[in-house]
Amino acid sequence: MAARELEIVIPPIIGYQYLAYPLCTLFTRQETLPWFYSNFIHLYCYSHLDDDYASSSLPLSFYGEDFVQCPWLITQKLERESILSSPEGIIDFLIRNINLGYTISLNVDEFYIPQRRVYRQIHYAHDVLIYGYDDQSRMFLILGYDQEMQFRRTLVPFHELEQGIEQLPNTERFEEHIFLYKINPSGSYTLDATVIKQALEDYLSGRNISLCHRATSGMLEAAFGTEVYQAIADNLPILVRKRDIRPIHILLEHKKTMSLRLDYLCNQGILPAELTGCFSPVEGRMFFLRHLLMKYAFTNDDTLLRQGLQELTTIREHEQAVLETVVEALERQLIS
């Protein structure tokens, strides 16, 4: 009997699993941090979240992170048909790739996945990360949001995961692609203060950085950088009516990541030591705002909504001031 559990680490960004799953592998190695902190600076948000496409897509997310291009990851992007048509069968396909060191991200019908809100109730497509198996108990180890909407490790029997993969067409809006991730042992990336400084300046100015990528991915008609605050404020009644706090949660993860980034730069001597912890108050206010809007979503107390809108403005102003100081400090570092 065989068993294998690949190492994964829960990253600071888990709001959207398409970002979280590759990061779970990256965060197993400290040497990947320079790449991580040089990225995940940009945000974008659709300006009209009542439009059909914007409301069904990601209302707000990080922009520009391409894990296929990440020097620290070996990434395979496969069509779902590659697992369905594999002569060895679905179970052995998964086990073989885990034995090769790959975590596997793919969509399943969560009707067949235990410890999910829709288990045996509703056919619903969602992505999971498979990172291990036990041949004796015939269980796969998976990561994802459980029935309590907590990002946790759970178990799924071989046969139910197989059903979840095979029956996916019974759901709507599922993703055909399968992603395999493992650390690239020959990877290399050097922290680049110039890149970080430019990205922070673009973020502060609200520059539409999708213009730089329109040759391959097209331009997005969206708010970027600090302009996302106004887009969220304009759409807050829509979001709260739908009880969709995803944008607020992503904003919080952005502030957590920014706080970690700036402290890391201080620790590396790229920023002055006195700036350590400078972003923590912004992160703290964002955490308070998320709690406030969750409360409003269940009470419809307009006082809380007005307070939340004011808090959003305060956070933007505070963030602007801190990041302008950081950019100035980086500029001094680069010319010294």
pTM for the model stands at 0.93
If 0-12 CB within 10 Å is exposed, 13-18 middle and 19+ buried, where does residue 36 land? buried
- State the residue for tokens 């320079």: 34
Q: Give pLDDT tens digits for 66-76.
A: 788 899 999 99
Higher-confidence residue: 151 or 238? Answer: 151
Judged against a pLDDT cut of 80, whether residue 55 lies above it is answered with no
pLDDT at residue 53, as a whole number: 55
Judged against a pLDDT cut of 70, whether residue 126 lies above it is answered with yes
- The percentage of residues in the chain with a pLDDT greater than 70, rounded to a whole number, is 95
pLDDT at residue 276, as a whole number: 97
Q: Mean pLDDT in the chain?
A: 92
pLDDT at residue 216, as a whole number: 65
pLDDT at residue 298, as a whole number: 81
With CA atoms as reference, report the closest residue to 236 among 227, 246, 223: 246
Domain parsing of the chain, residue ranges: 3-38+73-183, 193-335
- Arithmetic mean of pLDDT, 18-41: 96
Judged against a pLDDT cut of 90, whether residue 86 lies above it is answered with no
Q: Which residues is 76 bridged to in the sheet? A: 180
- Arithmetic mean of pLDDT, 299-321: 92
If 0-12 CB within 10 Å is exposed, 13-18 middle and 19+ buried, where does residue 128 land? buried
What beta strand segments (E) does 27-102 contain?
43-45, 60-62, 73-79
- Arithmetic mean of pLDDT, 189-195: 94
- Arithmetic mean of pLDDT, 251-267: 97
Q: Give pLDDT tens digits for 152-161.
A: 999 999 999 9
Query: CB–CB of 255/203 below 8 Å?
Result: no
Judged against a pLDDT cut of 70, whether residue 272 lies above it is answered with yes
H or E element that contains 82: helix 81-84
Instruction: Give the model's confidence band at 215: pLDDT under 50 very low, under 70 low, under 90 confident, else very high.
Output: low
How far is residue 9 CA from its own chain's centroid? Answer: 14
CA–CA distance, 231 with 251 (Å, rounded to integer): 12
